Amino acid sequence: MRWQIALFALIRTVFNTAYRMIYPFLSVFAAGLGVDLNVIALALANRSLVGALGPFLAVVADRRGRKVGMLVGLGLFTLGAALVWLRPTFPAFMGMLLLTTLGKYGFDPAMQAYLGDRVPYEQRGLALSATELGWSLSFFVGVPLMGMLMARGTWMTPFLGLMLAGLLAAVALFWLVPREVVERADRPGMWQNLWSVLRYPPALAGLATGLTATIANEVINLIFGVWMEDVHHLSILALGGAAAVIGAAELSAEVLVGGTADRLGKARAIRIGLMGNTLAALAFPLLGRTLPGALVSLFLFFLTFEFLLVSSIPMMTEIMPGARATLMAFNVAGLSLGRAVGAVLAPSLYAQGIALSAAVAVAFNLLAMVSLGYVQRRLTL
């Protein structure tokens, strides 16, 4: 299991590098494609809506096994990365966004269900937080590496590296992860699992918690690169360095979750993260006037968000053990929808100033606390 968890973390680093590098280099990709910021923001909103297909992809992991579900996700990702390298146009870029995201949202629930099947709930916070290192490492290592590749090559160069990484990851997963024997006749069908999630209130409240917290994060996440350029005039390499600061914050959060969430209780850890994230959002208008203050604000904001998000994953795996992969796919869909809503809101909010972006983030965090309170009242998690 240790080698498998390490492999999952590395694969998720590749997935998340492709997913997250768009944000700090938003203006670079827009210039390379010959489109403006609003067009890229709309493309990102469409990308996030792909997460709505996650529950339907979950049928692969439920009916044919977790390993097959993960391999399907890797195949979609690799194909998407190849598109831009082979044909660097805006339609190909859109295809890349959709396919790599679909691959990520196929892989993640299958992997989380795989660990949920094998790791006791009392230890699951540690196991899943280890795989979440792929999220922080993508910003701490992956995105700065993409910045270096673009600085030495062109805006298209990173996609060749991502395509090759996807191929290598598929080979490693095929050899290191055993294929389980699946008795499909004994498993509920896709529509049974979908309906069981949609009619279970604690599951819906858990999904609402992730949805609203992610909207709060995205209204800042989408525009932080543009904000840093506008206020502090950072270069491409410096934006990559700012991404590394965020990666360090998220890495710290994942280590904290691994050490504390199982002891605190997952729901309590989420609430602590939401309160901290609210305070960090309020700091943006005050500290962001100087470069050190802006970096501190970013560090705290992403530290607290990652803490609450990683704490929520083991909680969600236990809400409906009988439909684990389907609920985790719904969770991915909810987070994706949150990013889509945030991507639509972010440019217009930022046009009025960073203070309004921060205020809206606070409002959505408060909604997340209300939803979480319902889960805590119904279940002991």
User: What CATH number does residue 115 fall under?
Assistant: 1.20.1250.20
Per the domain annotation, does 183 fall within a domain?
A: no
- Inter-residue contact 169 to 153 (CB < 8 Å): no
**pLDDT tens per residue across span 228-252:** 777 766 666 666 667 677 778 888 9
Residue type, 314: P
Question: Averaged over 174-178, what is the pLDDT?
Answer: 90
The pTM (predicted TM-score) of the whole model is 0.77
Question: Averaged over 323-329, what is the pLDDT?
Answer: 83
- pLDDT at residue 58 greater than cutoff 80: no
Question: Averaged over 136-152, what is the pLDDT?
Answer: 86
- Inter-residue contact 210 to 338 (CB < 8 Å): yes
Domain that holds residue 359: 2-173+193-378
Per the domain annotation, does 178 fall within a domain?
A: no
Per the domain annotation, does 184 fall within a domain?
A: no
Per the domain annotation, does 180 fall within a domain?
A: no
Tell me, what's the pLDDT at 226?
79
**pLDDT tens per residue across span 84-119:** 988 888 889 999 999 998 899 889 988 998 998 889
Question: Averaged over 63-72, what is the pLDDT?
Answer: 86
**Would you place residue 278 in the very low, low, confident or very high pLDDT band (cuts 50, 70, 90)?**
very high
The number of domains in the chain is 1
Tell me, what's the pLDDT at 57?
74
Three-state DSSP state, 167: helix
Per the domain annotation, does 187 fall within a domain?
A: no
Residue closest to 206 by CA, chosen among 10, 377, 355: 377
185 compared with 254, residue with greater pLDDT: 254
**Would you place residue 64 in the very low, low, confident or very high pLDDT band (cuts 50, 70, 90)?**
confident
- pLDDT at residue 184 greater than cutoff 60: no
- pLDDT at residue 309 greater than cutoff 80: yes
Per the domain annotation, does 348 fall within a domain?
A: yes
d(CA 38, CA 20): 18
Question: Averaged over 299-310, what is the pLDDT?
Answer: 92
Per the domain annotation, does 234 fall within a domain?
A: yes
**pLDDT tens per residue across span 25-50:** 887 888 888 888 778 878 877 787 77
Question: Averaged over 259-276, what is the pLDDT?
Answer: 91
**Would you place residue 164 in the very low, low, confident or very high pLDDT band (cuts 50, 70, 90)?**
very high
Residues constituting the chain: 381
**Would you place residue 182 in the very low, low, confident or very high pLDDT band (cuts 50, 70, 90)?**
low
d(CA 129, CA 140): 16
Tell me, what's the pLDDT at 241?
67
- Inter-residue contact 223 to 23 (CB < 8 Å): no
Tokens coding 348: 């217009």
Per the domain annotation, does 181 fall within a domain?
A: no
